[in-house]
Structure 1
Amino acid sequence: MFPEEYNTLKCNKILHSKNRLISISPFIDSCNILRVGGRLQNSNYTYDIKHPILLCSKHHLTKIMFKSYHLSLFHAGPQLLLANIRVTYWPLGGRNLAKQIVRTCIRCTRVKGKPIQVIMGNLPSERTQLDFPFLTTGLDFSAPVLIADRKGRGCKLLKSYICVFVCFAVRAVHLELVSDLTKESFLAVFSRFVARRGKPQRVYSDNSTTFVGALNQLKRLLQLSYNDLESDIANQGIEIYTTLFTSFWGHLGGSSKINQTSFTSYSSSYSSNL
C-alpha cells in the first residue's frame, strides 16, 4: 500500500505538497509500518489510537478486513463498522468502502429488502372530471380542538371539531367549525357549506355515526317535505339526491383523510407558538 509514499518517507524525504497524504502527516514507525501523524502526542490514548495504521480502501486486504469486522460485529451498519476499524486503522475512503460492504452483504440485503411497489389503478371519474369545485366532495372530522367561551364570567374551554371538506377534482379545502358530534350540528355545518360552495353532487365520508345519523334524518326530511319543496327547488335548478352519502372508498376517501391530517398537524404547530 502506498509504495511511492513509503519509499519517499523511508529515505527521510518530504512528500510533495500536492500529495494526497500530506494532510495526515504520515510517518514510518520503528516496525516499518506507515502510520498517521497528528497532534495527539500528549494525550492519554493508546499508541494505535493516536497513530492508526494507514490503509488504502482499494486494496484487496483492506476489503477482506472490512468484511471480517462486519461479520464479527453481527452485520453492523456503515457508521459502526467504520468507527470500530478506526480504533486501530485509518483507511483512506473508508466511509465509501463501509457503505459498499454493507450494501453488498447478502444477509443485510435480505433483512432490509423493500416490498414491490404496487401499480395503482386508474383514477375514478370523480377525481379527473371537473365541472365546478366541490361537485364531488369528501369530508372528515379533525381531532378535537379547544375554543374559549367568554360568555359570562370567566373563560371556559369547550371541545369542538373542524369539519374538513375536500374537492376530489382540484383538492380545494373548506373548513367549518363544529360545536359537537351530533347530527344536528353536522346538518348545520353542511348547510353552511352548501350556501358557500354550492350543492355537491356526491359526498363521500367514512360512515361514522354522525354521518349515518344525518343521512337517515335527511332521508326522512326529503320523503316528508318533497311535495312542498319540489316547486321551489325546481325553480332554482337544483336536483335532489337521496343518497348524499355513499360508502367509503379507500382511493377516494384517502384524499379527505390526508388533508384532515395535514390540517391537524399545521394547526397544532401554529397553536403551540401562540
Structure 2
Amino acid sequence: MSKDERLYGELQPEEIEDAEISQIILTQQEFFSKEYSVLKTGTILPLRSKLIGLQPFIDEDGVLRMNGHLKYAHFLPHDVRMPIILPQKRWVTKLIVKQHHEKGHHVAGANQTLASLSNRFWIISAREEIHEWEKECSKCRRRKARTARQVMAPLPNIRFSLRAFSHCAVDFAGPFITVQGRGKRREKWYLCLFTCLSSRDVHLEMAYGLDTDSFLNAVYRMTSRCGVPEKMSDNGIFFVGAVKELRELADKFDKDKLLKSAANRGMQWNFNPASALHFGWVFECMIKSAKRAMYPILSSADVTDEDLVTAFAGAEALINSRSLTYQSAHPDDNIPLTPNHFLHGCIGGQFAPESVDKSDFHPRK
C-alpha cells in the first residue's frame, strides 16, 4: 500500500495495528527509557530494574516484550507466548484497559478483564490499573451507585412498655374454610391477630364472623388471657390477606361501638388511615408470618374447628419463639431473646402440631 493510498478511505486493520504499535513503542521508550536503551545495545539490564524479572527483549518491530516460560509453546499465538510490556498510569495503557473492559460489557470482573489482557499484554500492576478504570467508568459508577437510604425516625412512645400487650395492634386474615358435622356443610372463620408493639409478642384468636360482635368477642378472649391493653391500634377495613368477603367489614364494623366498648374498659382505640400500609407495618409483617406458619400445617386438607384452633395455637407458639436479636456462632454467647421470654421466660415453640393433611399422594391430584 502506497503512502498516498493511506491518506484516503476507511482505516484498514493493518493501519490500526500499525498506529497502536507505534504508540506502544513511544510509551515504552518514554517510561522504560533506560531499559530500552540498554536492551537496544544488547547489554544486560541492571539488577535494580523493574523489568529484570520479566527477561525483556526487543523484537524486530521495536516492541518491548516479555520472555516468559511459554517461549517454546509454538502452538500458542506469538502475543500469548511473548506479551507486550506496558507501563502503568499511561494513557495508552488506560485506553487498552478500557477497550477490554468494554468487551466484557461492564459486568466482567477484574479477573476476567485481566485474563483478556493477558492474551496480548503484560501490564505492570495490572489489577490496580483495572480497578482504577472501573472507578472512572461512568457506566459502572451509575450501575454500582448506592441508592439513597431513608433516615429512620425515632420510635414513638407506644413502642416502649414494660408489660406485654399493654400497647397492641390488631389485624385480620383469612378466611379459613372448616367442615361442620359430617363434612357436607362448610363455614368461613377468620384469623384475628393481636401483636404487642413493644415485646413483639403475638396472640391469635379465631373470629367467627365479620361483624362487630364477633370481633369484640375475640378482643374479650384476648384481654382475659393477656390483660387489658392501654392502647389498641387498627388499620381500618383493609385487612392484609383478606379476600373479597373481608370488604363486607366496611358495612358491618361499627366503630362507635368499638370505641364505646374500649372506653368502658380503659382502652384507647386508634384507627390508622385507610390504604396507608406504612402506618401498620408492625402487624402487617406479623400477618405474613402467621399465614406462612398456618398454610404448611393446614395444607389443602378439610379441617374442623378443633383443628383450626389447634393450628392457630401452634402458629402462635412458632411465631413467639422467633429470635429478636442476632445470634452469633460464638460459644460464649447466650441464647437469643424471643417474644416467649416476655411471656413464659423460655424460648418455647417446641410442641407445634404436624400437618393435618393425612391424605395419600395421588399423581393425578
Give TM-score scaled by structure 2 length. 0.45
Q: CA separation of 1:256/1:94 partners in 2, compared to 1, >3 Å: closer, same or farther? A: farther
Gaps of 5+ in 1: none
User: In the TM superposition, what are the counterparts of 1:1-20 in structure 2 within 5 Å?
Assistant: none
1:247 equivalent in alignment to 2:273: yes
1:169 equivalent in alignment to 2:195: no
Ranked by relative contact order (alpha carbons within 8 Å, sequence separation 6 or more), the top structure is 1
Q: For residue 253 of structure 1, what is the amino acid of its counterpart? A: G
Deviation of 1:166 (Å): 3.1
1:136 equivalent in alignment to 2:172: no
Structure 1 equivalent of residue 126 of structure 2: 94
Aligned CA RMSD, in angstroms, stands at: 5.6
Structure 1 equivalent of residue 232 of structure 2: 202
Distance of 2:297 and 2:128 partners within structure 1: 41
Structure 2 equivalent of residue 216 of structure 1: 253
Structure 1 equivalent of residue 136 of structure 2: 104
Secondary structure of the structure 1 residue equivalent to 2:253: helix
Deviation of 1:48 (Å): 3.6
Deviation of 1:126 (Å): 1.8
Distance of 2:176 and 2:118 partners within structure 1: 53
Q: CA separation of 1:178/1:56 partners in 2, compared to 1, >3 Å: closer, same or farther? A: farther
1:257 equivalent in alignment to 2:284: yes
Q: For residue 34 of structure 1, what is the amino acid of its counterpart? A: M
Deviation of 1:111 (Å): 5.3
Whose radius of gyration is greater, 1 or 2? 2
Count of residue correspondences:
245
Q: For residue 64 of structure 1, what is the amino acid of its counterpart? A: L
Deviation of 1:112 (Å): 4.7
CA distances 1:32-81 after superposition (whole Å, capped 9, x unpaired) = 51155369949x654444664455555554233223444x5486235164
Distance of 2:72 and 2:297 partners within structure 1: 49
Checking the alignment, whether the CA contact within 8 Å between 1:159 and 1:179 is kept in structure 2 is: no
Checking the alignment, whether the CA contact within 8 Å between 1:78 and 1:98 is kept in structure 2 is: no
Structure 2 equivalent of residue 65 of structure 1: 96
